Copies of this chain bind each other. A is one copy, B any other.
Amino acid sequence: MTSPRTIGIGLLGLGTVGQGVWKHLSEKQNDLASRLGVNLDLRRAAVRNLRKARSVKIPKNKITLDPYEVIDDPKVHVVCELIGGTTKARELTLRALRLGKVVVSANKALLCEHGPEIFAAVRKHGGQFLFEASVAGGVPIIKALREGLVANRFDLIVGILNGTCNHILTRMGEDGLSFADALKEAQALGYAEANPTLDVEGIDAFHKASILAWLAHGKWAPRQRALVEGIRNIGPADIDFARRFGLALKHLAVIRRDFNAGWMTVGVYPALVPNREILARVSGVNNGITLRGDVVGATTLAGRGAGGDATASAVIGDIVDAIAALTSGARQGLSSDDLASRERLGKSVRMGDLDEIISPFYLRLSLLDKAGVSEGIYRIFSKYKVSIARVIQYEHPNQGRGTVTLSTYPVSEAKMAKVLKGLKSLKTVLEEPVVLRIFSPET
């Protein structure tokens, strides 16, 4: 290339991620430009408030209140959508795609809810939609799944996809904080939103799991067919059980696929993970994902899952991919052929029956403290032929009640549901039992 082309980049949103992108892209402009053989032009960022204090210095004429000044600018080739939400973001994303532009997005909710519409626009208008930043921040999981490990079919994908949950569970498990205190701390540190529902109830992790499941298997998992549980019920007795038996409490996303039977399942729930698993070592706000491929075996990627800079790193990675493709005339991201083949693939996949998933379980029961209580409990397990592996019994003599924590040998969700129904029918079981799965790659 003798006369380098100029590639214009525009940002929608200048929150933590947007500021990180602007800052690092400015700092590395020369290096990246020389690697790519192009000129980079950071043209403009659209914001909601011109006067908000920002840590990165941007000339006034490069900031606008009007997102269409970014999208419609013919000199902007790459639009980074970093505003979040699914209404305005959808409108702006589709507008940019209809203009045949490259959209780089960190918006998992948008992709999860409007994936088919977005990719239809990509295929129709020849633009691109790149979304490395939408799952696991700085961990290049999308690229690994889509490109590096393309030779594989994945029968198991398991990940820690929500940094807020992982921070809370790490503080509870390693430092003895209560859920409420760990959540407060996460909010104070900026890891959790004022309204933490999306994070602690597993919805954010479900969005990310859906994206991984679609990439791997071509099918968008309907929320009502997935298992989505949060971490609000975790308490000190659960932490204690985990510590005693070499387990770590993690909020997992688990995508299982049976290629012979044709099903996949998507589950997002707190689980006990044996300490020997690498994922058990992924702590704090970090994310980690283990992919099990038929050719490569298990590969794990771990790193910062949240934070402006980690996500900015992923956005910049996508921008660079987009530029490499734009300047060579190639298509980066998912090509039409790739999207079409993924669509075909997805047609042969059905959502599996969650009831049939088998794993060891952990239960915490709050019991009336009187003679014969244990016997009644064990009779239920025995009735459904569920074997108990380990038990810890705590007395709370002054309160007239006790706590029992226990784990079972592997058993199906359906059978465990029956056991739970039986337990809840007992008058001696005082509260809703807390149920956790024990993660085992083998089952």
Partner-B contacts on A (CB < 8 A): 1, 20, 24-25, 28, 31-32, 34-37, 132, 137-140, 143-144, 147-152, 276-278, 280-282, 288, 293, 295-304, 307, 309-310, 312-314, 316-317, 320-321, 324-325, 328-331, 335-338, 340-342, 344-345
Contacts and interface: CB of A to CB of B under 8 A. Distances in A.
A324 B328 contact: no
A300 B298 contact: no
A28 B310 CA distance: 34
A288 B303 CA distance: 13
A301 B291 CA distance: 11
Contact of A147 (B276, B321, B340): B321
B300 A301 contact: yes
24 contacts: A31-B341, A35-B341, A36-B335, A36-B337, A138-B149, A138-B293, A138-B297, A140-B147, A143-B147, A144-B144, A148-B317, A150-B316, A150-B317, A151-B312, A276-B281, A293-B313, A295-B309, A296-B313, A297-B304, A298-B304, A300-B303, A301-B302, A324-B335, A329-B330
A150 B20 CA distance: 15
Given A31-B345, A34-B344, A139-B299, 8 more contacts: A35-B341, A140-B148, A148-B314, A149-B313, A150-B320, A297-B309, A298-B304, A328-B328
B313 A295 contact: yes
Contacts of A144: 140, 143-144, 148, 301
Contacts of A307: 297
A313 B152 contact: yes
B295 A278 contact: no
Most chain B CB within 10 A, of A20, A28, A299, A328, is at A299
Nearest to A298: B303
A301 B342 CA distance: 26
A320 B331 CA distance: 14
A206 to B, nearest CB: 24
A330 B325 CA distance: 7
Contacts of A320: 147, 150-151
A336 B36 CA distance: 9
